[in-house]
Amino acid sequence: MAHPDQAFGDKTYSQFGEDLVLLNVFHRLGIEKGKYFDVGAHHPHNISNTALLYDRGWRGVCVEANPNHIKAFEEARPEDNILNVGVGTITGEMTFYMIDQYSGRNSFDRAVVERFVAEHPEFKITEQKSVPVVSLESLFIHFGTPDFLSIDIEGLDYDVLAHSLVWRKPKVVCVENHGKEIMFDDLLNRLGYGKIFNTVANGIYIYEDRSRH
């Protein structure tokens, strides 16, 4: 049970507590019920950076390439827009490499999947699917730029962010930067963002409108 002095309760769905950090950030920004994009959303609750926001009245767009997760999203997030597509730099189709039916390690980046399998030989690529892919920029145009972008697309994050955040700027971005922290810090800095926190595997960045300085 949450202590009365715990402003945001004692519940967290994120892998490393990112959602509690985000509630603090948005409280400081004065955003109580905003809009999110969860790209590579994986599951409506398990290791989710947006489930706690949904519980607190936020709504948005959940994008997940694996069709096996879509029913769970539709049942748990009826007020979100649920898209069963991948996200890349262009619209089209790409091959989705699957280790199993529900793994968060499934990816459009074959090199990422093969590296995981090489490091964990008990796994293997079990299936390859052709999946529709859209650009993040096209989602911004269709649904509007969100207050918060959570992105974890197993190897494609860097290219997608570099391509899509040039003109449209979510206020806060959370991206998996484990092992590539300097690279992502440099990219997001060039796009106008400053890092405000890093968990075990994810960086949280806030947009700074430098034109006002």
Tell me the domain boundaries of the chain.
18-88+134-208
pLDDT in tens, 154-200: 778 999 999 999 989 999 999 999 999 999 999 999 999 999 999 99
Task: Enumerate residues 6+ apart whose C-beta is below 8 A from 49.
Answer: 13, 14, 18, 19, 22, 38, 150, 174, 202
Around Cβ 111, how many Cβ atoms within 10 Å?
10
The dotted CATH code for 18-88+134-208 is 3.40.50.150
Phi and psi at residue 88, in whole multiples of 5°? Answer: -140, -160
Which amino acid is it at 167?
W
Q: What's the length of the chain? A: 213
The pLDDT score that the predictor gives to residue 99 is 85
The pLDDT score that the predictor gives to residue 75 is 98
CA–CA gap between residue 92 and residue 83 (Å, rounded): 15
pLDDT in tens, 55-67: 999 999 999 999 9
For the chain, which ranges sit under pLDDT 50?
213
